Amino acid sequence: MDTVATTNFEEFLDVHLAQELLRFTTAGSVDDGKSTLIGRLLHDTKSVYEDQLAAVKKSRVNRAANGHVDLSLLTDGLKAEREQGITIDVAYRYFSTSRRKFIIADTPGHEQYTRNMATGASTADVAVVLIDAKAFLREGKLLPQSRRHTYIASLLGIPHVVAAVNKMDLVGYAQESFRAIRKEFVEFASKLGLKSVTVIPVSALEGDNVVTPSRAMSWYDGPTLLEFLETVPLAVANHNDPLRFPVQLVQRPDANFRGFSGQVARGVLRAGDRVLALPSRRESTVKRIVTWDGDLHVAAYPQSVTVELEDEIDLSRGEMLVSAADAEHGLPEITRRLRAMVVWMHEEALVVGRTYIVKHTTRTVRATVKSIRYRVDVGSLDHVQADRLAMNEIAEVELETSLPLFFDAYSESRSTGSLILIDGLTNATIGAGMIVGTVESGAGENEQATLVLVPGRAALAERVRDALEARGHRAVVIDDALISDDAFVAVVRALELAGVAAISSRALFPERLAEVTRSIQGFAAGAIVSGDGVDDEEVVRLAGVRT
């Protein structure tokens, strides 16, 4: 916590109000000393209150030797942890210096709790990976957990990784030891494709190079851990990124106002911009960007705003606004079949063929695991075959969703490239996914049509239905006059959700037909077959009946 340096308090407040926020996560093995390191950061930045420190001093537990105050007790929150001496769940800590505000996600090192490391890493700008210098020298290599944590940091796309080589006091503050560790860590990190890697020798117990530069390691001329955290450049919202605005909530406080609320997930939104709604592909113009503090001309990631459009178009929660200028290039991937790196977080294994619930941006769908492409052996980083995924295992998985998702690769955008998997029975969050891309459609795969339109050919409609049913598919002819043209799209959509193909011989006006096709393209899994100018046999084949 800062002291008040200036006599002009208003000026001081302005400085405080202008501070940026940096989120970082800490990871390491059980005895690497993470909690002590965080305790040290909090203590040496004077972020600990006297009564908290007094409570630690009089605590029944003290694992620190030589009369040191056990700073790890400042962060070990839950009773069970204090008794067992291990951190069993991710804990969030807050402190600030005159330069920045910090949120720490303190994540446990125990192998069973890898899911928590992924949790803490998912929002972090920086990962601090602890390496026990003494254990490294004993083993002659990085511990498997350290490799695992560094790999997870790379998998979760954390922009900067810093290795804090801890317990330097126990290896005589020796420069050669530090060099050996740094060499192996940098090699491993570059193998993972990490771009920003920093290695700092520290002693959390003694306070060397955490906040204050170490006197015992005068050979080290790099930043202390805190200096690094205070100065590492924060990722800036890239204004050239394509716009992604997932609709969170449609607000209709009265008949005159209809606004689409959400958080800009990527890119920039400007009043007057032409935008495209997904999946309907209807275009409109941004009339206003509404906030309580007044209308904005421009909003960017990660601002929360409400968008009013010029036109009444079909748009609801789980759908997305993108820039109309991106309609040719720059659209998100729109597909039901995707590949994702999945970290499994549940005792019950992921099994191929099983259906789970997926939440991606503001969209919730069902998703079936079609295959596991490979599992990653985190020790060797080798790809191995697997047909199930146990807790804490990581694999590239193919998913087929009940409705299309609009996404970018996770490497492009964390907010539109991430998803969680939920068990539909227990409602537990069981996995985290980083989307890699669309599944390339293999040759010979012919999916059942969603909609078959054969205007004026009622007999053919019935024939297509019978042929589909004979092949074990479900299909319905929707020529009933009770289903109006207005309800047509909604009925097709409902049938699609139920996995039933819709067939119709009704004659729609060309504009109406175009509108129906466009509306359905956005959510449909299978092809839309138009029977215009196509002979009967071909229509049956196109509908997905193979002979």
Please list every residue from 87 through 106 that binds other proteins, using CB under 8 A: 88-94, 96, 101, 103
Name which position in 1, 351, 381, 507 contacts other proteins (CB under 8 A).
1
Does position 86 interact with other proteins (CB under 8 A)? The reply is no
CB of 263 to other proteins, least distance (A): 5
Does position 59 interact with other proteins (CB under 8 A)? The reply is yes
Name which position in 143, 268, 307, 468 contacts other proteins (CB under 8 A).
268
Strand, helix or coil for residue 112: helix
CB 408 within 8 A of CB 278: no
Q: Name the segment binding other proteins (CB under 8 A); options: 116-124, 202-210, 347-355, 528-536.
A: 116-124
At 333, the amino acid letter reads: E
CB of 188 to other proteins, least distance (A): 24
Exposed e or buried b for every residue in 457-492, given b needs 16+ CB within 10 A? eeebbebbbebbeeeebebbbbeeeeeeeeebbebb
With respect to other proteins, which residue has the nearer C-beta, 292 or 509? 292
Compute the distance between CA of residue 69 and CA of residue 39 in angstroms, rounded to an integer: 10
With respect to other proteins, which residue has the nearer C-beta, 362 or 438? 362
Q: Name the segment binding other proteins (CB under 8 A); options: 129-137, 207-215, 417-425, 501-509.
A: 417-425
Name which position in 25, 35, 36, 75 contacts other proteins (CB under 8 A).
75
Of the candidates 162, 161, 45, 27, which has an alpha carbon nearest to the alpha carbon of residue 106?
A: 27
Helix, strand and coil in the chain, % to nearest 5: 25, 30, 40
With respect to other proteins, which residue has the nearer C-beta, 43 or 182? 43
Q: Is the dihedral of CA 427, 431, 434, 435 positive or negative?
A: negative
Q: Name the segment binding other proteins (CB under 8 A); options: 29-37, 75-83, 177-185, 437-445.
A: 75-83
* Total of residues contacting other proteins (CB under 8 A): 90
With respect to other proteins, which residue has the nearer C-beta, 82 or 473? 82
Compute the distance between CA of residue 370 and CA of residue 376 in angstroms, rounded to an integer: 18
With respect to other proteins, which residue has the nearer C-beta, 115 or 506? 115
Name which position in 30, 52, 471, 518 contacts other proteins (CB under 8 A).
52
Q: Name the segment binding other proteins (CB under 8 A); options: 79-87, 133-141, 460-468, 503-511.
A: 79-87
Does position 432 interact with other proteins (CB under 8 A)? The reply is yes
Compute the distance between CA of residue 275 and CA of residue 323 in angstroms, rounded to an integer: 4
Reading the block at residue 390, the tokens are 């146990």
CB of 82 to other proteins, least distance (A): 8
Site for other proteins, residues 201 to 230, rule: CB under 8 A: none
Reading the block at residue 152, the tokens are 């997870």
Query: Site map for other proteins, 325-364, x if CB under 8 A?
Result: --------------------x-----------x-xx-x--
CB of 90 to other proteins, least distance (A): 7
At 301, the amino acid letter reads: Y
CB of 360 to other proteins, least distance (A): 8
At 183, the amino acid letter reads: K
Does position 422 interact with other proteins (CB under 8 A)? The reply is yes
Q: Work out whether strand 91-96 and strand 100-106 pair parallel, antiparallel, or are unpaired.
A: antiparallel
Name which position in 79, 215, 329, 546 contacts other proteins (CB under 8 A).
79
Strands (E), 214-354: 245-246, 249-254, 257-263, 268-270, 274-278, 283-290, 298-300, 304-309, 320-323, 333-344, 350-351
Q: How many CB atoms lie within 10 A of CB 79?
A: 8
Site for other proteins, residues 248 to 267, rule: CB under 8 A: 248-249, 251-254, 257, 259, 261-263
Residues 6+ apart with CB under 8 A from 322: 242, 243, 244, 245, 275, 276, 278, 330, 331, 332, 406
Reading the block at residue 505, the tokens are 């011989």
Work out the angle at residue 501's Cα, subtended by the Cα atoms of residues 499 and 502, and round it to the nearest 5 degrees.
130
Q: Name the segment binding other proteins (CB under 8 A); options: 187-195, 234-242, 470-478, 496-504.
A: 234-242
Does position 80 interact with other proteins (CB under 8 A)? The reply is yes
Does position 2 interact with other proteins (CB under 8 A)? The reply is yes
Name which position in 428, 487, 490, 497 contacts other proteins (CB under 8 A).
428
* Element containing residue 271 per DSSP (H, E): none
CB of 88 to other proteins, least distance (A): 7
Site for other proteins, residues 4 to 23, rule: CB under 8 A: 4, 9-10, 13, 16-21
Reading the block at residue 377, the tokens are 């052996």
Reading the block at residue 67, the tokens are 């009369």
Query: Site map for other proteins, 269-308, x if CB under 8 A?
Result: -x-------------------xxxxxxxxxxx-xxx-x--
Site for other proteins, residues 376 to 415, rule: CB under 8 A: 414-415
Interaxial angle between packed helices 510-521 and 488-497, expressed in degrees from 0 to 180 and rounded to the nearest 10: 30
Compute the distance between CA of residue 236 and CA of residue 477 in angstroms, rounded to an integer: 53
With respect to other proteins, which residue has the nearer C-beta, 103 or 534? 103
Name which position in 115, 149, 339, 493 contacts other proteins (CB under 8 A).
115
